[in-house]
């Protein structure tokens, strides 16, 4: 499990490669929500999501094996694009397993950064099986999108930065899918902050919520939520961290997520993806006092869906 030193080392290691994304507030959002909120703009991160942090850290930690045989992962898009980008920074190949129904914009992003894509059926079993097959064929080093301590330490740097800039934060809303961002946020807060951490999850992919309540890890093989980056089940390494250091998992309906997306766009003028809207939606339905933070995890979605006339 990553230590405080691991998180600080990751922050120093990846600093030359990534953006130190801004923290900002919105008077209009605060008036609408009745709270005092600070946003962490990871949608403005390189590759369009926080995933660049973990991917870059994992590639740098495993630089020799990556250079020799490349790296491999399975991803619905954001981690795949991030890993392809990170691998390109050290001259390594990146083999990316993607579900056949991945958003076209995310497929295009993986290709743009040089990722070598293999498509599979849209469920976790198919992703893992296909990744294992390609790994055997290529000898590439597997970098799991979330069930990996180097990834978790890298993702933790987003919250590490936020809390360094805003130590007064008492509550922090973080989207949860596989758990890389949430487990990293929970550890960063444990070592460097004093906030309550809230995981924000679609009702249609409620494994984190149910596992959190029962104390047993739950598997979800398929989900139809619009928050496509949050369809995966919690990783084995992520679950015990979340169970120990997260205060609550908040479930959001599809309508609430959509409303959170529209509200963020209207009040902050920031273009986020639906996964990031879960944090906004949770904040809107939770009445809290004190300084609050929301991690806007990414901004990768197909803008061509929207017509101006």
Catalytic residue among 51, 231, 237, 291: 51
103-114 in b/e burial notation, b at 16+ Cβ within 10 A?
A: bebbbebbeebe
Q: Confirm whether 51 is a catalytic residue.
A: yes
197 C-beta neighbours (distance < 10 Å), count: 25
DSSP state of 37: E
Task: Report helix, strand or coil for 104.
Answer: helix
- Asked whether the beta carbons of 49 and 76 are under 8 A apart, the reply is no
Alpha-carbon distance of 41 to 175, in angstroms, equals 13
* Nearest in space to 35 (alpha carbons), one of 295, 297, 253, 294: 294
Residue at token pair 């130590």 = 167
Catalytic residue among 26, 33, 76, 233: 76
- Pair of tokens at residue 204: 């249609």
Strand partners, 117: 96
- Pair of tokens at residue 224: 């139809």
| Cα angle, residue 285 at apex, residues 305 and 249 outer, rounded to 5° | 90
Q: Confirm whether 216 is a catalytic residue.
A: no
Alpha-carbon distance of 71 to 58, in angstroms, equals 10
Catalytic residues: 51, 76
């Amino acid at each position: 499990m990553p230590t405080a030193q691991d998180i600080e080392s990751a922050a120093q290691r990846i600093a030359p490669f990534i953006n130190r994304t801004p923290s900002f507030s919105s008077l209009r959002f605060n008036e609408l929500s009745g709270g005092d909120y600070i946003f962490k703009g990871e949608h403005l991160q390189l590759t369009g999501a926080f995933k660049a942090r973990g991917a870059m850290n994992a590639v740098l930690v495993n630089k020799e094996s990556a250079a020799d045989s490349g790296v491999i992962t399975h991803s619905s898009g954001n981690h795949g694009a991030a890993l392809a980008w990170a691998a390109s920074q050290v001259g390594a190949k990146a083999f990316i397993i993607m579900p056949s129904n991945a958003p076209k914009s995310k497929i295009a992003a993986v290709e743009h950064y040089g990722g070598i894509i293999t498509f599979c059926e849209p469920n976790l079993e198919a992703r893992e099986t296909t990744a294992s097959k390609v790994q055997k064929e290529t000898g590439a080093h597997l970098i799991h999108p979330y069930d990996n301590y180097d990834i978790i330490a890298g993702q933790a740097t987003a919250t590490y930065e936020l809390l360094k800039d805003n130590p007064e934060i008492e509550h922090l809303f973080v989207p949860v899918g596989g758990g890389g961002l949430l487990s990293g946020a929970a550890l960063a807060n444990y070592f460097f902050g004093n906030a309550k951490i809230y995981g924000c999850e679609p009702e249609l992919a409620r494994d984190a919520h149910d596992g959190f309540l029962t104390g047993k890890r739950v598997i979800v093989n398929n989900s139809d939520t619009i928050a496509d980056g949050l369809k995966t089940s919690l990783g084995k390494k992520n679950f015990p961290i979340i169970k120990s250091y997260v205060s609550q998992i908040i479930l959001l309906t599809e309508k609430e997520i959509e409303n959170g997306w529209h509200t963020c766009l209207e009040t902050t003028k920031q273009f986020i993806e639906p996964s990031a809207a879960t944090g906004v939606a949770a904040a809107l339905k939770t009445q809290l006092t004190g300084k609050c933070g929301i991690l806007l995890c990414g901004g990768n979605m197909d803008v061509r869906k929207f017509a101006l006339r």
